[in-house]
Amino acid sequence: MDDYKYLFKVVLIGEAGVGKTCLVRRFTQGLFPPGQGATIGVDFMIKSVEVNGEKIKLQIWDTAGQERFRSITQSYYHSANALILVYDVCSQLSFDNIPHWIQEIEKYANTKVFSYLVGNKIDQINRREIPSHIGEQFAKRYEMKFIETSAKEAENVDALFYDIATELTKQAHQQALETDKGVNFKAHNTSTISSCSTCLRF
Ligand SMILES: Nc1nc2c(ncn2[C@@H]2O[C@H](COP(=O)(O)OP(=O)(O)OP(=O)(O)O)[C@@H](O)[C@H]2O)c(=O)[nH]1
């Protein structure tokens, strides 16, 4: 029997090419995929973690950054327990578009959603355009948590997802989230779901 205490939905959003899929693959499979193609629509993976002796399942939804998939991906915001908004520290454009993504969150997500701002690709030291403190200030202003990662070098990736699992577990224990944990967090036994058949990748 696949026993777990809570199931949390975590959704990654952000511009195309910032590394959302690589972050998910690094965390769930421990690898950095070579020649990663653009996500088409949405994809998801599941990983179990342990928080203070309790087994927690993270259902991690990886959304396409491309504009043409926006209407599909928006529909995934509402059921998210946590949102990870990713930008590329080497791409000013991806950072400049963050306010747009925050508007999307305000429009489509649950008001109590736990959100993280993530600056990815910190291994590219010489190509960095966004200093850490700028990202940090931005996150503070929007009451988001902040971390910088490298999916390539596996830096801070586990820390990001474990922190989310820990915070959501804490919230669940405190019954701070809107619906009863028995319904909201352990809605389904998803042990048989390991991939999304409607998700294609180039
Ligand atoms: N150097 C470096 N490259 C990365 C890192 N993460 C991702 N990349 C590269 O960035 C490119 C885009 O990565 P993806 O994970 O497909 O980006 P995405 O945000 O999922 O893109 P969409 O699916 O189009 O929304 C790929 O060439 C990756 O190899 C990282 O931490 N460091």
66 lines ligand 1 (CB under 6 A): yes
**C-alpha 149 – ligand 1 centre gap (Å):** 12
What pTM did the predictor assign?
0.88
Domains in the chain: boundaries? 6-183
Q: Are 159 and 141 in contact (CB under 8 A)?
A: no
Q: Is ipTM beyond 0.95?
A: yes
pLDDT, one tens digit for every residue, the chain (202 residues): 578 999 999 999 999 999 999 999 999 999 999 877 888 888 899 999 999 999 999 999 999 888 888 888 888 888 999 999 999 999 999 999 999 999 999 999 988 899 999 999 999 999 999 999 999 999 999 999 999 999 999 999 999 999 999 999 999 988 644 555 455 555 443 333 334 333 333 3
Q: Where are the beta strands (DSSP E) in 14-143?
A: 39-40, 42-51, 54-63, 82-88, 114-120
In CATH, the number for domain 6-183 is 3.40.50.300
What pLDDT, on the 0 to 100 scale, is given for residue 36?
73
Quick one: which of 161, 162, 169, 167 has its CA closest to 186?
169
**C-alpha 48 – ligand 1 centre gap (Å):** 23
User: Of all atoms in ligand 1, which is nearest to the CA of residue 65?
Assistant: 25
Q: Which helix (H) or strand (E) holds 194?
A: none
